Structure 1
Amino acid sequence: MRRLSARVIITVVVVCLGMAVAVGFLARQKLADADQYSSVGSGLVALFGFLVVAGGGVATVIRFVTQRARVDDRPGLVGDVGDLDLGVAVAIHSPHAISGVIPLYIGRSIDDELREAVKRGGFVLVHGEGPAGKTRTAVVAINNARRGQPLWRPAGPDELRKLAEAPVPRHGAVVWLDRLERFLGPDGLDLATLDRLTRDQRLAVVATIRDEQIAAIRSAPAAGAPPGTDVLSGMPGHRWFKIDRFLTPEEWAAAPDDTRYDPRLEQAYHAREGFGEYLVAGRALLDRWLVGGGPLYAVGSALVSAAVDCARAGLRGPVPVEVLEKLLPRYLADPWYGRTDLPTVADGLAWATTRVLGASSCLWPVPGGYLASEQLVGPVRALSRRPGPPVQDAVWPLVYELAAGDDGELRSIAANAVQEERTDWAERIARPMAEAGDAEAAAFLACLLVMEKRWDDAIEWGRRSAQAGSTRGMIIYGMALGTRFGELEAEVWLQAAAERGDLSGAFVLGEIAMNRGDRAAAKSWWRRGAEAGELDAKFALALLMEDDDDPAYARLLGELVMADHPEALTEFGARALRAGEVTMAAGVLMRAADRGSVTALYHLGVHAMLTEGDGDRAILCWREAAERGHVPAMTGLSLLLTAADPAESDVWLRKAAELGEPQAVELLNERRQR
């Protein structure tokens, strides 16, 4: 009986736990290697509005809900609450703008469909990369679809839960949450709470979320992900509305004539960082943090760096001043470290909270401390896949201490510790929770142990989790057993999880079926996984459908490309490269590489050599791909380094040959015979 390789097991477990690992070795060399599906992560924004149409008097209902749910001391009506109060960001200042701190709205292509979805009711999600304008677009849709209806803005998960439980009329209501991740705590939004809110289908729940945060949730082991993230996986695709960072030429051409009186808008349209990010000073904010000089800049930027690292470590709440003060010396640059004549922490915080161009600031003061701007945290998380400064060691014990007693914060820190390759801290958090009987923590711990190839312990904790009823634990337990006893044991537990509605293992179940020659069963599992939102299963299904000459494969592949699935982007870019569409290929492959695809890096090296003859750029791409385990890149890198660095060339050639790459084996034999 075939045994599952350690690499497949690790890959699948991470997929099953929401880490969205890429598809590997699909039919007929459609894809050369498996890469971890990662996508940056940075800053979830959430929006909800709750409208109460009171049959017996609005004032009575308002008094009742504020007493019982304490959602908002001053609930308003849609259209009466200002855009700034609903979370729309202040735009950069311009002395020539006539429209004030919030520019004129430029319509997006999804506006009509979004408005109709809000009008129909239910859960509606507006998502996009970074500050793309999601909040503004959602606010406009709500104002157009539900003007005059009651509006509620719960401040956190507790208030949201109380609102869902309050016996108030729901017909025609809208619930609005700002920054969705704040509402996914242990007592916050989950499928059950959402069902209670939307039992009356005329109630509209409107949310916005950053793609970086969606990726972070999906890439985190499920047991460490914030509770309530099943809301994202359980929502049908027609409820998702994506906002692009850049305005399309058609959207810009359709802009109102008055936009010509606001120079900010045209500048934002052409800005390299994107329309929304330019308007809210994203680039200028990064420059303020990273570029400067003098003692005040040294202290202020160090405090910002400390707060950013706390967020990267998974702390969702504010960082107290005393913690920032403890971390300050570790973030001061060498010329300033140890000096006693520096500005005070208060001075540094004043610098860090100064608004840039009249819009955002690096740090935001909130009750209990300071929050780092998501416009800073997001880009740093996006770069975390590449070599760069890790979260400093001193941060982990401090955020751990701050999160003590808060399971939601602890799970968030554990999940981020995995992303930051600090599995020691992830295990330190998860093990006590697992030993206390938390089945999901046991599944998380088993996942960590699988990643570290500690198979016996992984099997033990997977067994405990599975027997306690965790479907994630069933998946991990089955996959860990598969490393020792073959695919049959893995299949039994993956099927058990699937019967309980968890199709995270659908991709592997399809691969097992293919390994025994059952294409029909493989197609069935991949189709079920695709329908459940499992992107790897959907990608495998698309390639299988292409093999079967089913033209519907193109639609699936296109949907995956639009969803920024890294392997689909890589496949699409490689095909464009083979077809001679080099410009398109380069753009798509760069998107795939930015989302963690090692194979895309390899193809970018091929692109550099074939279209530009740029060996230096090819070396950069292939070296990074080789260091991340891409075997063909090792061979290509060895060939390019033959003359420039024979010693390094031999190292990569031997490594590729040891991994069984045929061309490397042949070349190595030739070199030995010289």
Structure 2
Amino acid sequence: MSEPSPVGPPPDPPSIVVPSAAPTRNSVVGGSAGPVIQAGTIAGDVTIHTGAPARGAADDWPRVGRLHRSWFGVRPTSRFGDEPGLPPYVGRDCDPELRGLVGRGLSEGGLVVVTGGPLSGKTSTAAWAALTAWGFVDVHEPRAHAPHPGADLSDIPSQLHGRTGPFIVWLDDLEGHLGPGGLTAALLARLTQERVLVLATMRDKAYDEHRFGDSPAARVLSGAHTVELSRRWSDAELRRLGEGGDQRLADALEWRGKRGVTEYLALGPELWDEWRRARRPQAHPRGHLLVRAAVDLARCGLRQDVPMALLRAVHRVYPEYEADHPYTTSVVETESLEDALAWATRPRYEATGLLVPGATEGTYRAYGSLVADAVRSDAFAAVLDEVWAQACTVAAGQGLDVTPVAEACRAALAPRAAEGDITACVVLGIATEYSGDVSEAEGWYRKAADQGHTGACNQLGHILAGRGAAVEAIHYLEQAAAGGRQDAYVTLGKLHRDRARHWLTQGAEAGDPQAAFHLAELILRPGRVERSVRWYRAAAEAGNRDAEFALNVLRVGITLPPEAAQPPKAVQPSETEGPAETDGPLEPPARVRSAPATPRRMVRRADSPDVPGPPARPSRHRPTPPASL
């Protein structure tokens, strides 16, 4: 039988006295360590079992043959459709020198730095050297490591311990990797001892700030091999650019303006995205329209600097200008023109704005990449018909050459016009007329006018009147006047007046008293009554009482000159009425004369070949966009 359990709580265990000790310090200075146990007091034996050495990080660094340029931080370019993310690399003049330094660094280690201004192509050029230089030297394919800016680099030697290279440590924008925990002179020396190449890029300004003096960064850079890269491309580099076989490279050659090629390629997607997003009401909707106007004008063929007056006129034709914005309010109420222009011209990335100021004050043009991307983008809308019309009319008024606009307009709108699109015909008429090809313009206007387009009737009527086809001009101008085109009223009235004068002259010379009377009434001018008196007398002597009354009125109001006081014995059929603007007595010509050659838009002669036309009269009409396209 077992013993009963003791009654009551168990006794307290004996107390243990822990001797005081110095505080434990967890720190390691320099070098590397294997397994470590840290404890205040250890009683008894401790056994540590270790297996094979852990696989180092350097074994996981990727081989450069598996890398793309984007891994190195090369900026993406604009991309549409199935285009690759980056166009082919275009060789720079410094490539042979850089390739030699990188190849040597893969064998011996060291620091190679590519310097240059912002967006000069430093990253792209150095990355290409990293990807290709090893193939020119007797080394294995290197592995590469790209730590993030500010990352601790001090453990890199431990990752490389006991491993065979070659290795590349990639430090883009080296200024972000200098200082404690970054690249120091001591770390660079250890990496060089391990024959590790440190390949870096650095802006010129940052390099100059860190290179000189006695700072830790200066000691790092003092042992670097540097290659300088310019923003400006040489003629040889531009020739290679033209042979690149990629549309983006071709666009860079055509549209970069005075900027560098890499700057153009890198800025393209940034500017495009900023501009597209600016259309929101809380952003810069009016600035967006100003830039869109400049882009569309370039697409219309006006690639030179354009005056602000043209941008102002074009940006008003877009539906977003006056209509309520789909989000809140209209563009006009959201942003002033001054604020819109200031936003559009503000330089981005120390390089360029969306609008680039021209050589002449008050002129601007869209940055080239925006135009090229608009042309390549399938999602970007075609140029509005109203923009084509404004591009011609306002540009011509500003003294710009409209010929390129007409050429671009033909390419864009001729297919629509061939299918019977009336508006396309009208716009083509405006473009070709303003470019000086009035004959082609007449054909385009006629196609639209014959389908009842009032504006086309007006334009065609003035062209016909200008070349003397008065009868046909009247036909179209009467349709335009009936449609409310006010400039047709005056021209139409002048044509009817001049034709009436012509036929009344024919009748008066044939001896018709009614014709003589109405001709006198028609040509009567204050201060120039001599010719009217002549025909009034001819009509009065033939028994026209209205003519007698008119002569009596003239006798009361004026004194007739002596040469006008003698009535003609008979109306001479050979006499014809001269120009109404000519002062002095009439000199009857020996025969009916044709009007002298005059500039376009002068009324020269009637349509019928056997009917002589009236004297030419200038028309003040200028081609203008129809009231409604």
Q: Which has the larger radius of gyration?
A: 2
TM-score of the superposed pair, with normalisation by structure 1:
0.31
With CA pairs under 8 Å and 6+ residues apart, which has the higher RCO, 1 or 2?
Answer: 1
TM-score of the superposed pair, with normalisation by structure 2:
0.33
Q: Which has the higher helix share?
A: 1
